[in-house]
Chain A
Amino acid sequence: MEKHAGEIIYINGPVVKAENAQGLKMREMVLVGKKRLIGEVISISKDTATIQVYEETSGLSRGEEILSTGSPLSVKLGPGILSNIFDGIERPLLAMYKDGNAFIPEGVGLVSLDEQKQWAVEMVAKEGDYLTAGQVYATIQETSMIRHRLMVPPHLKGKVVFAERSGSYTIEQTLVTLEEEGSRHELKLYQLWPVRQPRPVAKRNPIGKLLVTGQRVIDTFFPLAKGGTAAIPGGFGTGKTITQHQLAKWSDADIIVYIGVGERGNEMTEVLEDFPEIKDPRSGKSIMERTVLIANTSNMPVAAREASIYTGITIAEYFRDMGYHIAIMADSTSRWAEALREISGRLEEMPAEEGFPAYLPSRLAQFYERAGDIETLGGSGGSITVIGAVSPAGGDFTEPVTQNTKRVVSTFLALDKALAYARHYPSINWLRSYSGYVTDLKDWYDENASPEMLELRAKLLRILQEEDKLQEIVKLVGEDILPDDQRLILEISRVIKVGYLQQNAYHADDANVSLAKQYRMLRVIDALYENAIKCVKKGAPMSKVKNDALFYKITTMKYNVPENRQEILEDYIREIRDYYDGLDKTYSKGGARHEG
């Protein structure tokens, strides 16, 4: 399969050129030099091919051989992906470490899934069946949470002329042979798929299901949808990574694919150490059992950074095709864009905005468009939600990556430096963020939370917007001058900000909050506002309306009301009514006397 396809004549960082390379195809995977480094053909001119190399090129010399593999850059899709960590081109970092070296060795070659491991396969197909693309021929309990379904690859179909019995197999063994029009295809425990090509689906469904994340500011105010797209932009120190980690831990997707694109090594180590300890709130199993990690840390080869998001999304599509709901997090897409820019620069392409290549917007769009709620070839439903972090240079959202991402995503969670400085986490700015899914999800909220939920959402957002305007005045003249109803807006906004929007990722009762509890908390805040404003209108003074103890109690309800005792929140509402009814009576009487 591998054959000689030219010799190296040019080396500049990750870019290598080969001559006498007429046999190479665009986007083909090649092996470069004696160490057989993995590379991909990115341009061809006459007999010279330009190759980006996914490994360190130091030590290569002129004249070394290029081998062609005949196929585009592909990943192996099969059991062994879950709970594992791979580099940008699906080489297993766990297995590399088992060889005892804490550093990544050179020239690892083409390795991916474990070929020795025996999997307990339960056969579904039997001889005589007729199978089409996407149909399941066998299943494997890959982790205690996820059943892996082996499917007929897209573009294949045929009659089963041979089927193994259920039993123990390694991934290279043939389970099924299909025959169609005289040609035979052997189906093993894995299939290969080129990473840059989206896997086909039967049809796309409209968006209509909430991706429950357990994060109040997201679920209530700026919801993500299953099959939707979201971007989380923020300068350094605003908490992008921690927000992504929270989503990976608590969202109700079946499988999480987490791609560390050019980020810190310790962050991946943190995930590796923490995730096995965290229990999924729905199944009680360790969340690592449903997680796949792809790591190209900032000091790993830059070309593999470019490939890593395609590797990640291809893996996500494979599991989606089994009928699962996947959430994929890419932290951070800016590093991916910079990798594009770096390689583009070395190719001496004409730069567009800020040195980024002109094809940046189309590449971004292509990536995010691989999200969606779909019907699989096999006839079941699945979805991919894409959540990309963006690291704008200098925290400036007008830079090209943020702007071009904004055009293709529907939920935009803008992280704010000022909030982060005040340690308001998640530092999602409620005025600059938006979600395009609120209308699409209305029916879902009505059915699964309450028809009132979106009304309360709109009401609280209005309060927050008004507060922002009032703050402009307060900055000039101070708070005391405002009329009482406006001062109440400021006080209620404080409760919303500290008591609702802020969420403590390290607090057992606050890290993850169910939608039911979120709705109850919203009602408590709404009751506070409605009862208080009633009294303000009757002329009750602010010193009475803002009862410190009551406000403090509501601000800290997130810590004091555990998930399994959330009915306590109904007592909160009663307490609010009682207090303000009393106040109301005093001032109604007082008012009556005054008038009389």
Chain B
Amino acid sequence: MRVKYLKLDRIEGPLIVLSGVREAVFGELVDIEVNGSQRKKGKVVQIDRDRVVIQVFESTSGISLGNTSVAFTGHPMTVPLSRDILGRIFNGIGEPIDGAGFYSDKKYDINGRPINPVGRRYPRNYIQTGISAIDGLTTLIRGQKLPIFSGDGLPHNELAAQIVKQAKIAGAREDNFAIVFAAMGIKHDEADFFRKQFELSGVLNKVVMYVNLADDPIVERITTPRCALTAAEYLAFEQDMHILVIMTNMTNYSEALREISSAREEVPSRRGYPGYLYSDLASLYERAGMIKNAEGSITQIPILTMPNDDITHPVPDLTGFITEGQIILSRELFQKNIYPPINVLPSLSRLMKESIGEGYTREDHPDLANQVFSAYSHVQDVRSLAQVIGEDDLSELDKKYLEFGRQFEQKLLNQGFEGNRDVIESLDIMWELLRVLPKEELNRIKPEYIDKYLK
């Protein structure tokens, strides 16, 4: 018979404190019973002599100092998993919320274990998303973590849904592909949008959803991505599937972390976020990848909105230091009615260099991408000059760059929500754009490729 503790010392936000505890394990799961009927779960977050601080999932409302009993389980928080999770919807602590029950005797610790760098396989195979700006310039690689940095009101959800709809992994079987979707603090209509999109693209029975909506308890927001990634690891590394994990929205997640940290009266660092925000985010993002003794892979596309479009805000800043690149959406392009409004200059895929070119996409791809980046970066200088002296007074060469910029945005970027292009098609469009410029300007491309592809 487990010991039950019947009296609390203090309740504060999502935390409860009780004393006189004889045995407690750091990080263990606790069962909480309110008024003898309502059941909740919690986790030990601090032990100080016989005083234990517990973080309560769901919410602490209804709890009083005397109406609650607490029992320690002695094991960490786990989530039950089997192949049957595909097509199901769970809440942030892994309980089904789609009306049916779920049982599996296989339970997994949601915190996972860090992957040994020696045990990793370096990602070297690209995923074709059908989006030129991504396939051509910031190629997504199987096993990569590539976040979308967006702003409120920008079409990041559409972009993520389009990637899910169009993604093709070179050399992988269709039926071996699944999506794990973690929703953290998003609105009901956003969750509905994703559900509808999954349904429309016919992948609904390949999606596992872990959902914590904006009005759900914030403590569960912390466990939502952990449950989702544990499910992803199970499917990828035990069932050898290729998993695409969409996590939205990491800003909400980080805010939940800050709220709990402040309730625990921890010393804040930048903008009130806890000092361990980097380590905490890393414990999620680093769960992407591939390992040597399994066939499957975990590719992560976390979505975050930059508060006030500020990329130096701690959440995008720390994310950028951990993830393997980023795709940045631009309000300016969005206002020009360009979809997807990807600002390619600050966008980056760190893993693409080894996974494009000969044997993967096409031999000219690395040089070509490099040249297009360099030219489009010059377009920005020319545009600011044109604002000062007017377009007419630009040199002939700069006028050509302006035209290149216009075509780049209209022909390459603006492909629409339904546009699905083969990677070779995207590369050919890039060559077409370069035709606007004089040949001497193409100093990043091997001359032989210019002769071969610049028709």
Enumerate chain A interface residues (CB-CB to B < 8 A): 8-13, 57-63, 85, 93-94, 96-97, 100-106, 235-237, 260, 262, 264-266, 268-270, 272-273, 295, 297-300, 302, 335, 338, 341-342, 344-346, 348, 351, 354-355, 391, 393-396, 417, 421-424, 474-480, 498, 506, 548, 552, 555-556, 559
B437 near A: Cβ within 8 Å?
no
Partner of A265, one of B270, B289, B294: B289
Chain A residues contacting B326 (CB-CB under 8 Å) are 236-237
**Least Cβ distance of B288 to chain A in Å?**
9
**Least Cβ distance of B276 to chain A in Å?**
5
Partner of A12, one of B46, B283, B318: B46
Query: Once the chains are docked, how many angstroms separate the CA of A10 from the CA of B50?
Result: 9
| Total B residues in contact with A, Cβ cutoff 8 Å | 86
**Least Cβ distance of B148 to chain A in Å?**
15
Query: Once the chains are docked, how many angstroms separate the CA of A94 from the CA of B276?
Result: 28
Cβ proximity bits B381-422 to A, threshold 8 Å, 1 near / 0 not: 100110011000111001000000000000000000000000
4 closest Cβ pairs, A-B complex: A394-B312, A102-B119, A58-B27, A298-B282
Q: Is A270 within 8 A of B27, CB to CB? A: no
Chain A residues contacting B275 (CB-CB under 8 Å) are 338, 341-342, 344-345, 355
**Least Cβ distance of A474 to chain B in Å?**
7
Q: Is B385 within 8 A of A58, CB to CB? A: no
Query: Once the chains are docked, how many angstroms separate the CA of A235 from the CA of B316?
Result: 12
Chain B residues contacting A262 (CB-CB under 8 Å) are 278-279, 282
Who on chain B is nearest to A305 by CB?
Answer: B279
Cβ proximity bits B346-372 to A, threshold 8 Å, 1 near / 0 not: 101011010000000000001000100
Query: Once the chains are docked, how many angstroms separate the CA of A341 from the CA of B268?
Result: 10
Q: Is A101 within 8 A of B322, CB to CB? A: no
B100 near A: Cβ within 8 Å?
no
**25 examples of A-B residue contacts, CB within 8 angstroms:** A58-B111, A61-B24, A62-B21, A62-B23, A94-B118, A103-B114, A104-B113, A260-B117, A262-B278, A264-B322, A264-B324, A265-B120, A269-B117, A269-B121, A297-B114, A344-B275, A346-B266, A354-B270, A394-B317, A395-B312, A423-B370, A475-B385, A477-B388, A477-B389, A478-B394
Who on chain A is nearest to B346 by CB?
Answer: A421
Question: Given A422-B377, A477-B389, A393–B25 Cβ distance below 8 Å?
Answer: no
B217 near A: Cβ within 8 Å?
no
Q: Is B395 within 8 A of A272, CB to CB? A: no
**Least Cβ distance of A336 to chain B in Å?**
12
**Least Cβ distance of B374 to chain A in Å?**
5
List 10 additional contacts besides A237-B325, A266-B351, A298-B278; criterion CB under 8 Å.
Answer: A102-B115, A236-B317, A237-B320, A265-B120, A266-B289, A298-B279, A355-B269, A422-B374, A423-B444, A479-B395
Query: Once the chains are docked, how many angstroms separate the CA of A58 from the CA of B226?
Result: 15
B291 near A: Cβ within 8 Å?
yes
Who on chain B is nearest to A551 by CB?
Answer: B440
Partner of A96, one of B116, B313, B370, B389: B116
B48 near A: Cβ within 8 Å?
yes
Q: Which of B50, B268, B313, B318 has the most CB of A within 10 A?
A: B318
Q: Is B324 within 8 A of A266, CB to CB? A: yes
Chain B residues contacting A498 (CB-CB under 8 Å) are 443
Q: Is A93 within 8 A of B388, CB to CB? A: no
Question: Given A10-B48, A477-B389, A478-B393, A104–B312 Cβ distance below 8 Å?
Answer: no
Question: Given A57-B26, A58-B26, A355–B270 Cβ distance below 8 Å?
Answer: yes
Chain A residues contacting B312 (CB-CB under 8 Å) are 393-396
B187 near A: Cβ within 8 Å?
no
**Least Cβ distance of A495 to chain B in Å?**
10
Q: Is B291 within 8 A of A102, CB to CB? A: yes
Chain A residues contacting B123 (CB-CB under 8 Å) are 266
Query: Once the chains are docked, how many angstroms separate the CA of A416 from the CA of B121?
Result: 31
Partner of B116, one of A13, A104, A479, A555: A104
Give how many A-B residue pairs fall within 8 Å (CB-CB): 222
Who on chain B is nearest to A425 by CB?
Answer: B370
Q: Is B27 within 8 A of A552, CB to CB? A: no
Chain A residues contacting B24 (CB-CB under 8 Å) are 61-62
**Least Cβ distance of B57 to chain A in Å?**
17
Q: Is B322 within 8 A of A298, CB to CB? A: yes
Q: Is B268 within 8 A of A355, CB to CB? A: yes
B267 near A: Cβ within 8 Å?
yes
Q: Is A264 within 8 A of B286, CB to CB? A: yes
Partner of A61, one of B25, B112, B279, B385: B25
Chain A residues contacting B21 (CB-CB under 8 Å) are 62
Chain B residues contacting A236 (CB-CB under 8 Å) are 317, 320-321, 326
Chain B residues contacting A265 (CB-CB under 8 Å) are 114-115, 117, 120, 286, 289
**Least Cβ distance of B183 to chain A in Å?**
23
Question: Given A393-B314, A475-B384, A478-B385, A270–B115 Cβ distance below 8 Å?
Answer: no
B47 near A: Cβ within 8 Å?
yes
B429 near A: Cβ within 8 Å?
no
Who on chain B is nearest to A8 by CB?
Answer: B47
Who on chain B is nearest to A422 by CB?
Answer: B377
Query: Once the chains are docked, how many angstroms separate the CA of A246 from the CA of B444?
Result: 20
Query: Once the chains are docked, how many angstroms separate the CA of A169 from the CA of B87?
Result: 59
**Least Cβ distance of A17 to chain B in Å?**
8
B49 near A: Cβ within 8 Å?
yes
Question: Given A355-B269, A421-B377, A556–B443 Cβ distance below 8 Å?
Answer: yes
Q: Is A103 within 8 A of B118, CB to CB? A: no
Partner of A103, one of B116, B321, B444: B116
Q: Is A302 within 8 A of B279, CB to CB? A: yes
Chain B residues contacting A345 (CB-CB under 8 Å) are 266-267, 269, 274-276
Chain B residues contacting A474 (CB-CB under 8 Å) are 385
B378 near A: Cβ within 8 Å?
yes
B76 near A: Cβ within 8 Å?
yes
Query: Once the chains are docked, how many angstroms separate the CA of A58 from the CA of B44?
Result: 9
**Least Cβ distance of B130 to chain A in Å?**
24
Partner of B373, one of A63, A96, A302, A422: A422
Q: Is A341 within 8 A of B373, CB to CB? A: no
Partner of B269, one of A60, A61, A354, A422: A354
Partner of A297, one of B48, B286, B388, B440: B286
**Least Cβ distance of A423 to chain B in Å?**
4
B39 near A: Cβ within 8 Å?
no
Question: Given A59-B27, A269-B121, A11–B47 Cβ distance below 8 Å?
Answer: yes
Who on chain B is nearest to A95 by CB?
Answer: B118
Q: Is A104 within 8 A of B395, CB to CB? A: no
Chain B residues contacting A348 (CB-CB under 8 Å) are 267
Q: Is B76 within 8 A of A58, CB to CB? A: yes
B169 near A: Cβ within 8 Å?
no
Partner of A478, one of B46, B318, B389: B389
Q: Is B374 within 8 A of A423, CB to CB? A: yes
Q: Is A103 within 8 A of B115, CB to CB? A: yes
**Least Cβ distance of A312 to chain B in Å?**
15
Chain A residues contacting B317 (CB-CB under 8 Å) are 235-236, 393-394
Q: Is B373 within 8 A of A423, CB to CB? A: yes
Chain B residues contacting A548 (CB-CB under 8 Å) are 440
Chain A residues contacting B115 (CB-CB under 8 Å) are 102-104, 265, 299
Query: Once the chains are docked, how many angstroms separate the CA of A338 from the CA of B322?
Result: 14
Q: Is A103 within 8 A of B113, CB to CB? A: yes
B292 near A: Cβ within 8 Å?
yes
Q: Is B116 within 8 A of A97, CB to CB? A: yes
Q: Is A9 within 8 A of B49, CB to CB? A: yes
Q: Is B395 within 8 A of A101, CB to CB? A: no
Chain A residues contacting B285 (CB-CB under 8 Å) are 298
**Least Cβ distance of A377 to chain B in Å?**
35
Query: Once the chains are docked, how many angstroms separate the CA of A9 from the CA of B28?
Result: 16
